[in-house]
Amino acid sequence: MLELLQTLCRIDGVSGCEDAVGDYIRAWVTPYADSVTEDVMGNLLCYKKGVRHSGRTLMLAAHMDEVGLIVTSITDDGFLRFGTSGGIDEKVLLGTRVRIGDVRGVVGVRATHLNTPEEEKTLPEVRAMYIDIGAASKEDAEKRVQPGDFAAFDNEPMFYGDMLKAKAIDDRVGCAVLMKLLREGPPVDMWFVFTVQEEQGLRGARPAAYRIRPDLAIVVEGTTAGDIPDVKGAMKACVAGRGPVIPMMDSATLYDPVLVQRALEIAERAGIPCQTKTYIAGGTDAGAISRTAGGAKTLGVAAAVRYIHTPASSVAVADLEPMYRLVRTLCENAERL
């Protein structure tokens, strides 16, 4: 799964432009799935019969998209103005390498001698930033890029200590878990759904859930970990290396409280280390799925990701296998959820 995760993270799929990720996943899962459908939004809906039928419609969901940038215009001297796609803290953008397809660039930083004393103390707004693709002129830039093109963080996965850094771990880690379970064969009949535009407001999940009408959906995600210096107690939210997270609640969803307790019990009985989320933040596709049509019960399983939504997003390698085992074990216990 570690190899697969790195491969998935190398592919660019900023919200609204997930095609490359979708193509890769579709080709990869087609030999294993009983059916693979792409809907009008670009969601991939894969069905796979398991060892048995659980008596209800079970859906696993992971989103294919990642946060990134979108080119809004090209300046007269060939630099690119941009907006953000998904929630990005502008602090992380300055000096960052980005790529627009094969075109490489950097987010430029004003030279210090140009700053007023006030500007030295504050961050520029995104609207004042630009991407430098090394173009000689506006015409030169227009040959390579046009407004509406998406820019992704340009970096390679890297191991440091116990951690793996890669852009887009949120939510390629969820995609990797679903793909592995699909390949190994699920314990019960179920849907594997790879959604689009999660980072833009959970937009892909609703039509996917409308088509499938799950009784129960498990959303497999990356979630924000605040286990960094000077953060104490509940504010850490979750801790990298302490196992997968079963959130009780985030800003978009109150996961079914009874299912959450059962999931924690199932994990404990299976000896899978896991944690809850100690601070309410973020949101997942469960917010949309739980309210689609007549509603659905939802559960979440997430990897604790440090520096989420940045080029340096990082996951503890030791968390990946337990995360997969937890999702698999929950599916094995589908009748008890």
Q: Which residues are catalytic?
A: 198
Q: Smallest distance from the beta carbon of 103 to other proteins, in angstroms?
A: 40
Rounded distance, CA 226 to CA 239, Å? 7
Positive/negative CA dihedral, 233, 301, 157, 143: negative
* 261 near other proteins, judged by CB under 8 A: yes
Look up residue 79 and give its two tokens: 């630099």
Stretch that binds other proteins, among 21-29, 134-142, 222-230, 231-239 (CB under 8 A): 231-239
Q: By CB under 8 A, name the one of 235, 265, 268, 335 that touches other proteins.
A: 235
Stretch that binds other proteins, among 89-97, 107-115, 148-156, 289-297 (CB under 8 A): 289-297
Check: CB of residue 86 under 8 Å from CB of residue 15. yes
Q: Which residue has the tokens 């060892």?
A: 51
Stretch that binds other proteins, among 22-30, 147-155, 180-188, 270-278 (CB under 8 A): 270-278
Q: Comparing C-alpha atoms, which of 93, 98, 174 is closest to residue 134?
A: 98
Q: Comparing C-alpha atoms, which of 37, 35, 5, 42 is closest to residue 195?
A: 42
Positive/negative CA dihedral, 302, 306, 307, 310: negative
Q: Judged by CB, which is closer to other proteins: 72, or 278? A: 278
Q: Which residue has the tokens 């959970």?
A: 202
Instruction: Report residue 154: phi and psi, to 5°.
Output: -110, 90
Binding mask 123-162 for other proteins (x = CB under 8 A): ----------------------------------------
* 295 near other proteins, judged by CB under 8 A: yes
Whether residue 140 is preceded by a cis peptide bond, meaning omega within 30 degrees of 0, is no
Check: CB of residue 238 under 8 Å from CB of residue 245. yes
Stretch that binds other proteins, among 13-21, 144-152, 232-240, 301-309 (CB under 8 A): 232-240
Q: Judged by CB, which is closer to other proteins: 37, or 278? A: 278
* 278 near other proteins, judged by CB under 8 A: yes
Q: Smallest distance from the beta carbon of 110 to other proteins, in angstroms?
A: 32
Type of residue found at 34: D
* 228 near other proteins, judged by CB under 8 A: no
Given the rule CB under 8 A, which residues bind other proteins? 215, 233-235, 248-249, 254, 256-257, 260-261, 264, 276-280, 290-291, 293-297
